[in-house]
Amino acid sequence: MQDKLVVIEKRYYELEQMLSDPKMMEQRDEWQKMSKELASIGPIVELSRRLKEINREIEEAEEMLRESDETEMDDYLKTEVESLKQEQERIQAGLRERLVQKDPYDDKNVFIEIRAGTGGEEAALFAADLLKMYSRYAEQNSFRVEIVESNPTDIGGFKEVILGVEGKGAYSRLKYESGVHRVQRIPSTESGGRIHTSAATVAVLPEVEDIDVEINQQDLRIDTFCATGPGGQSVNTTQSAIRITHIPTGLVVNCQDEKSQLQNKEKALRILRSRLLDKYISEQTAEQAEARKTMVGSGDRSERIRTYNFPQNRVTDHRIGLTLHKLDLVLNGDLNELIGELTANERAEQLKEAGG
Please give the full DSSP string across 200-241, using - where no structure is assigned: EEEEEEE---TTTS---GGGEEEEEE--B-TTS-BS-SS--E
Same domain, 198 and 328: yes
With DSSP H G I counted as helix, E B as strand and the rest as coil, what are the percentages for the chain, rounded to 5? Answer: 50, 20, 30
Give yes or no: residues 201 and 227 share one domain.
no
Residues 150 and 88 occupy one common structural domain: no
Contact 149, 255 (CB under 8 A): yes
Q: DSSP letters of 278-330? A: HHHHHHHTHHHHHHTTT-GGG--TTSEEEEEETTTTEEEETTTTEEES-HHHH
Rounded Cα distance, 137 and 160, in Å: 19
Longest dimension (CA), the chain: 98
Residue 169 maps to a domain: yes
In terms of domains, do 116 and 201 share one? yes
In the listed set 255, 282, 309, which residue is the last one of a domain according to the structure?
282
Measured from the Cβ of residue 293, the count of other Cβ atoms closer than 10 Å reads 10
Query: Is position 161 within any domain?
Result: yes
Picking from 282, 309, 333, the residue at the C-terminal end of a domain is 282
Find the domain containing 255 and state its range: 217-282
Cβ-contact 272, 253 below 8 angstroms: yes
Q: Residue 259's domain is classified under what CATH number?
A: 3.30.160.20
Q: Which of 254, 255, 299, 304 is nearest to 277 (CA)?
A: 299
Q: For residue range 103-123, what is the model confidence (pLDDT) as tens digits?
A: 778 889 999 999 999 888 999
Whether 72 and 146 share a structural domain: no
Q: Is residue 71 part of a domain?
A: yes
SS3 state at 116: strand
Mean pLDDT, rounded, of the chain: 85
CA distance 252 to 271: 10
Count the domains in the chain. 3
Of 67, 99, 131, which one is at a domain's C-terminal end?
A: 99
Strand pairing report for 179-185 and 304-309: parallel
User: Is residue 263 domain-shared with residue 118, that is, in the same domain?
Assistant: no
Residue 291, in any domain of the structure: no
- Residue 287 is assigned to a structural domain of this protein: no
User: Could you tell me if 126 and 140 lie in one domain?
Assistant: yes
For residues 303-320, average pLDDT: 94
Least confident of 92-96, 189-193, 315-319: 189-193
Radius of gyration from C-alpha coordinates of the chain: 27
Name the residue with higher pLDDT: 102 or 136.
136
pLDDT at 86 exceeding the cut of 90: yes
Q: Is residue 290 part of a domain?
A: no
pLDDT tens-digit map of 158-186: 999 999 999 999 999 999 999 999 999 99
Q: What is the mean pLDDT of residues 205-209?
A: 83
| Same-domain check for residues 127 and 181 | yes
Residue 334 lies in a domain: yes
CATH number at residue 318: 3.30.70.1660
pLDDT at 288 over 60: no
| Least reliable range by pLDDT among 68-77, 191-200, 286-295, 308-317 | 286-295
Q: Residue 205 falls within a domain, yes or no?
A: yes
Same domain, 180 and 315: yes
- Residue 132 and residue 54: Cα distance in Å, rounded? 55
Contact criterion met (CB below 8 Å) for 248 and 219: yes
Confidence of residue 228 (pLDDT cuts 50, 70, 90): low
Q: Is the pLDDT of residue 330 over 50?
A: yes
Q: pLDDT band at 210, cuts 50/70/90?
A: low
Cα–Cα distance between 335 and 329 in angstroms, integer? 8
Q: Are residues 89 and 122 in the same domain?
A: no
Residue 232 pLDDT more than 60? no
Whether the per-residue pLDDT at 243 is higher than 50: the answer is: yes
205 lies in the same domain as 306: yes
